[in-house]
Amino acid sequence: MAEIPILRIGDCLLVSIQVDMHDRLALALQDDLTQRIVADRARGVMIDISALEIVDSFIGRMLNNIAAMSKVLDAVTVVVGMRPAVAITLVELGLGLTGVRTALNVDKGLALIRRIIDNPERDDADRER
């Protein structure tokens, strides 16, 4: 089975989805990621979906799940590189990625993660606002 590589940058994990994922691959990624978070004691997870041409309800839900699980494991998830067409379609589809933080690209994503790790209270405050 092909699998999606998970790279480690400092205390962050970087997942770059370069192929159109089928559902089982998506579920496998979910499992791998949670295990790696624990194994590497990662504090942040960045998912690069710049190569994805579509994000349908299943993949959207998978992203949501990953964000929720990492939060439980004390890690922050940021999705970066979403295409505009994908973003529009997601909204039209009625699927807000409510639990997922997003950033425009990898640089900004890393910065966001760093900031949240350093000031967890502010992050929560951001949310509540």
Q: Rounded to an integer, what distance in angstroms lies between the CA atom of residue 30 and that of residue 69?
A: 9
Least CB distance to another protein at residue 20 (A): 5
Candidates 9, 38, 68, 85; binder of another protein (CB under 8 A) is 85
Angle of CA points 80, 128, 13, to nearest 5°? 30
- The verdict on 99 binding another protein (CB under 8 A) reads no
Candidates 93, 104, 111, 125; binder of another protein (CB under 8 A) is 93
Stretch that binds another protein, among 40-48, 54-62, 97-105, 118-126 (CB under 8 A): 54-62
Instruction: Give every strand in the sheet of 12-16, ordered side by side.
Output: 6-9, 12-16, 44-48, 76-80, 101-103
Looking at residue 4, its amino acid is: I
H or E stretch at 125: helix 120-128
User: Under rule CB under 8 A, how many of the chain's residues touch another protein?
Assistant: 24
Least CB distance to another protein at residue 30 (A): 15
Q: Rounded to an integer, what distance in angstroms lies between the CA atom of residue 45 and that of residue 18?
A: 16
- The verdict on 67 binding another protein (CB under 8 A) reads no
Residues in contact with another protein by CB under 8 A are 1-2, 20-24, 53-58, 61, 83-86, 88-89, 92-95
